């Protein structure tokens, strides 16, 4: 208990360094380092180092109180000419010009109003303000953005802004945004640089500033309103003239550097990670950055380096993010029932992602840093599995393949894929991480399981199903068979912690029963044609000599087991070998049988990478010892 308490204190110290929300790369990396230290049992907390760390945090907060006395209030909203409540709030000149600018766009999409009822705050909700009571959307310390995507404007990931027609690509339409800024009087005599369209109140009159190129002005006392704020509105309507703004704030930059320095000192004082551990962390972060760069430079997506990806229009990721924001807003307004409802009376979309993301947003704001931390812990699981199979040299070689060289990427043995799925808003990345983590806990020859390991394994399996329901057959057979095996070997007591860990999966069924008055185990979309693309009717038609149906089945299976990549067949053959081999343990046979069951799902459901990689990765890890022994035996014979 003392160990857990100290670990919580250590994590809290890092959080206090940066404050909430933890929506920056430095906070993300610092927390990731601490979690690595905790998981690897490499913390070195003493009374002396703890006192120094607490004193450091105390001094940091004193400096913050003296340096950052005032904050900037920011309002952001998707502009709609039909939003009468926002129009009432805006100055008449700003409202008039906004309507004119909107009409000039001649957009093919409809900008739905976010405000449909009378409100005192017509600005959009932001997860960044969960622990705050903002005047508008949120409070910020600094203004420095090149475009809207640097600002982490969460309302852009509302599913109703989903237009991607007219060859606009996955990034979709450029929805018009209106911003409002309240700058405290401490910004007097500071330089404001911008491009785009601004409105600044000067001597009680709204002055329009427009420039396609970067321009700068000095904020003087004439801009100061009676309430000691400089009021600015900004329009970001036109993709060809994107808004950018910067206000020099050396105090904020200085304090941010102090935050990073404090976190670094605490990490050095209270952890004892070696170069190998740091390399895993560095490579995990690098994989995230590589995919973000690839998505931006090659995929022509808006930048996600701010930590908030602009979810692809028309993709499930947009829906999951939209659900999460709406749930968090309900939680912020103490509407707990709506949070539990999760936006649907009966789940149609996979349920887990919206809950994980909304919980993550509480601490990480309008970003996915919380989810990226989860997938960044996966290399620890992979390393643990590899250490059971290979010596140090081959362990490093295989980890090199996992991070850098995509030799085995066909089986999901590639960290960048986990980053890709998570950044795009799909649940597959975390589902794969959860499945392989459970595999790591359960895959062992003996039955010397610790109760906490079994609880964690069961919980990871429940998370995996909630994110990727197609894992259900494999996991159900694994749990049932393992429970029978433990009972048969006089370890019935071990079934209970495993069951306790897995039982949260019943909350999904209970949700559907409670809100929808219907028994649906996971989702009601399991049998729709878009998901079950090769249903029983296709098989029956093929058996009755319908060539078209047979061709459809052959093409469908080819998505799961590519006919041009024989290593898929090889891994399936290894699973079958494990089941019938007399030399291998019964527990290995249980895992092999459950994974084959997981593969058979793709005879009916589409076996694309993000659906099947979890099963392929577990299959690959299970068969690695077989492959290793056969390779060594063949080498000895040849030699």
Q: How many angstroms separate the CA atoms of 107 and 172, rounded? A: 12
What 3-state DSSP class applies to 108? coil
Token code pair at residue 377: 């812990």
Q: How confident is the model at residue 629 (pLDDT cuts 50, 70, 90)?
A: confident
Residue 555 pLDDT more than 70? yes
pLDDT tens digits along 139-179: 998 999 999 999 999 999 999 999 988 788 888 899 999 99
Residue 635 pLDDT more than 60? no
Q: How many angstroms separate the CA atoms of 480 and 485, rounded? A: 9
Q: How many angstroms separate the CA atoms of 126 and 107, rounded? A: 26
What local confidence, expressed as pLDDT, does residue 93 receive? 96
Q: How many angstroms separate the CA atoms of 219 and 245, rounded? A: 13
Return phi, psi of residue 110, to 5°. -105, 130
Task: State the maximum Cα–Cα separation within the chain, in Å, rounded to a whole number.
Answer: 91
> For 222, which DSSP code?
G
pLDDT tens digits along 477-501: 999 999 999 999 999 999 999 999 9
Do 196 and 236 touch, CB atoms closer than 8 A?
yes
Average model confidence (pLDDT) across the chain: 94
DSSP symbols for 293-352: HHHHHTT-PPP-TTS---PPTTSHHHHHHHHHHHHHHHHHTT-HHHHHHTT-SS--S-SH
pLDDT tens digits along 60-119: 999 988 888 788 999 999 999 999 999 999 999 999 999 999 999 988 888 889 999 999
What local confidence, expressed as pLDDT, does residue 107 receive? 84
Do 409 and 417 touch, CB atoms closer than 8 A?
yes
What local confidence, expressed as pLDDT, does residue 166 receive? 77
Q: Compute the half-sphere exposure of residue 269: CA atoms within 13 Å on the CB side of its CA.
A: 21
Q: Give the residue-averaged pLDDT of 562-584.
A: 93
What local confidence, expressed as pLDDT, does residue 108 receive? 84
Q: How many angstroms separate the CA atoms of 35 and 10, rounded? A: 10
Do 91 and 233 touch, CB atoms closer than 8 A?
yes
Residue 639 pLDDT more than 70? no
Share above pLDDT 90 across residues of the chain, in percent, rounded to a whole number: 82
Return phi, psi of residue 136, to 5°. -130, -100
Measure Cα distances from 122 to 83, 115, 137, 148, 434 in Å.
9, 6, 9, 19, 40
Token code pair at residue 128: 């960044």
**Cis? peptide before 21, omega within 30° of 0:** yes
Q: How confident is the model at residue 382 (pLDDT cuts 50, 70, 90)?
A: very high
Residue 561 pLDDT more than 70? yes
Nearest one of 137, 116, 136, 118 to 127, comparing CA atoms: 137
Which H or E run includes 327?
helix 316-332
Taking each helix axis as running N to C, give the angle between helix 392-403 and helix 275-297, from 0 to 180 degrees, rounded to the nearest 10: 20
What 3-state DSSP class applies to 84? helix
User: Could you report how far apart the first and last alpha carbons of the chain are, in Å?
Assistant: 55
Return phi, psi of residue 130, to 5°. -60, -40
Do 439 and 621 touch, CB atoms closer than 8 A?
yes
Do 402 and 382 touch, CB atoms closer than 8 A?
yes
pLDDT tens digits along 387-412: 999 999 999 999 999 999 999 999 99
Do 324 and 158 touch, CB atoms closer than 8 A?
no
Q: How confident is the model at residue 604 (pLDDT cuts 50, 70, 90)?
A: very high
Residue 16 pLDDT more than 90? yes
Do 275 and 55 touch, CB atoms closer than 8 A?
no
pLDDT tens digits along 608-617: 999 999 999 9
Q: Give the residue-averaged pLDDT of 338-349.
A: 96
Q: How many angstroms separate the CA atoms of 213 and 66, rounded? A: 36
What Rg, from alpha-carbon coordinates, does the chain have? 27
Which H or E run includes 259?
helix 250-270
pLDDT tens digits along 427-476: 999 999 999 999 999 999 888 999 999 999 999 999 999 999 999 999 99
Q: How confident is the model at residue 250 (pLDDT cuts 50, 70, 90)?
A: confident
Cα-based torsion angle of the residue sequence 404, 410, 416, 421 in order, rounded to the nearest 10 degrees: 180
Q: Which residues pair with 231 in a beta bridge?
A: 182
| CB burial readout 391-414, b (16+ within 10 A) else e | eeeebeebbeebbeeeebbbbbbb
What local confidence, expressed as pLDDT, does residue 634 receive? 67
> For 317, which DSSP code?
H
Using alpha carbons only, give the angle 193, 197, 198 rounded to the nearest 5 degrees. Answer: 65
pTM over cut 0.85: yes
Q: How many angstroms separate the CA atoms of 260 and 412, rounded? A: 34
Do 130 and 365 touch, CB atoms closer than 8 A?
yes
DSSP symbols for 126-149: -GGGTTS--SSSEEES--EESSGG
Please name the residues in contact with 241: beta carbons below 8 A apart, sequence gap of 6 or more. 195, 196, 197, 212
């Amino acid at each position: 208990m003392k160990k857990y308490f100290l670990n919580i204190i250590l994590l809290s110290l890092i959080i206090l360094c940066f404050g909430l929300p933890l929506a920056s790369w430095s906070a993300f990396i610092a927390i990731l380092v601490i979690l690595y230290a905790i998981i690897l049992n490499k913390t070195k907390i003493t009374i002396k180092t703890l006192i120094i760390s607490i004193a450091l945090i105390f001094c940091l907060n004193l400096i913050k109180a003296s340096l950052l006395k005032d904050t900037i209030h920011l309002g952001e909203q998707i502009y709609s000419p039909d939003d009468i409540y926002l129009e009432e709030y805006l100055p008449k000149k700003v409202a008039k010009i906004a309507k004119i600018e909107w009409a000039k766009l001649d957009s093919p999409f409809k900008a739905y109003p976010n405000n449909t009822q009378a409100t005192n705050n017509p600005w959009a909700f932001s997860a960044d303000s969960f622990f705050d009571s903002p005047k508008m959307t949120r409070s910020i310390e600094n203004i420095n953005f090149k475009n809207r995507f640097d600002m982490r404007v969460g309302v852009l990931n509302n599913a109703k802004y989903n237009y991607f027609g007219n060859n606009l690509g996955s990034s979709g339409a450029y929805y018009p945004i209106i911003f409002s800024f309240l700058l405290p009087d401490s910004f007097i005599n500071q330089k404001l640089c911008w491009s785009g369209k601004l409105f600044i109140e000067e001597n009680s009159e709204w002055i329009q500033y427009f420039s396609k190129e970067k321009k700068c002005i000095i904020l003087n006392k004439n801009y100061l309103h009676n309430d000691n704020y400089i009021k600015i509105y900004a329009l970001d309507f036109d993709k060809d003239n994107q808004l950018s703004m910067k206000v020099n704030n050396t105090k904020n930059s200085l304090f941010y550097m102090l935050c990073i320095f404090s976190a670094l000192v605490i990490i050095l004082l209270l952890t004892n990670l070696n170069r190998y551990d740091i390399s895993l962390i560095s490579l995990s972060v690098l994989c995230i950055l590589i995919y973000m760069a690839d998505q931006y430079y090659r995929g022509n997506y808006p930048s996600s380096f701010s930590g908030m990806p602009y979810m692809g229009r028309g993709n499930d990721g947009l829906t999951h993010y939209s659900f999460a924001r709406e749930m968090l807003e309900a939680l912020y307004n103490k509407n707990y029932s709506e949070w539990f409802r999760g936006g649907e009376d009966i789940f149609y979309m996979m349920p887990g992602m919206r809950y994980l993301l909304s919980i993550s947003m509480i601490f990480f704001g309008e970003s996915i840093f919380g989810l990226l931390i989860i997938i960044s812990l996966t290399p620890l699981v992979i390393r643990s599995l590899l250490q059971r199979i290979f010596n140090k040299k081959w362990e490093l070689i295989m980890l090199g393949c996992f991070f850098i060289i995509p030799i085995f990427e066909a089986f999901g043995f590639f960290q960048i894929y986990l980053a890709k799925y998570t950044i795009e808003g799909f649940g597959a990345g975390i589902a794969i991480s959860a499945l392989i983590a459970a595999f790591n806990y359960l895959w062992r020859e003996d039955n010397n399981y610790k109760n906490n390991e079994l609880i964690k394994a069961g919980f990871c399996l429940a998370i995996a199903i909630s994110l990727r329901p197609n894992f259900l057959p494999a996991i159900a057979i694994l749990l049932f068979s393992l429970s029978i095996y433990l009972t048969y070997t006089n370890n019935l007591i071990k079934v209970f912690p495993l069951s306790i860990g897995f039982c949260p999966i019943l909350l999904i069924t209970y949700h559907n029963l409670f809100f929808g008055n219907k028994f649906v185990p996971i989702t009601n979309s399991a049998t729709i044609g878009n998901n079950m693309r090769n249903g029983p009717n296709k098989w029956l038609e093929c058996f009755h000599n319908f060539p078209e149906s047979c061709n459809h089945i052959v093409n469908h299976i080819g998505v799961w087991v590519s006919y041009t990549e024989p290593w898929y067949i090889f891994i399936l053959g290894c699973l079958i070998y494990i089941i019938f081999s007399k030399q291998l343990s019964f527990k290995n046979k249980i895992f092999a049988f459950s994974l084959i069951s997981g593969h058979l799902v793709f005879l009916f459901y589409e076996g694309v990478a993000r659906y099947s990689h979890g099963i392929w990765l577990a299959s690959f890890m299970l068969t690695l010892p077989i492959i290793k022994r056969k390779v060594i035996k063949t080498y000895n014979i040849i030699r």
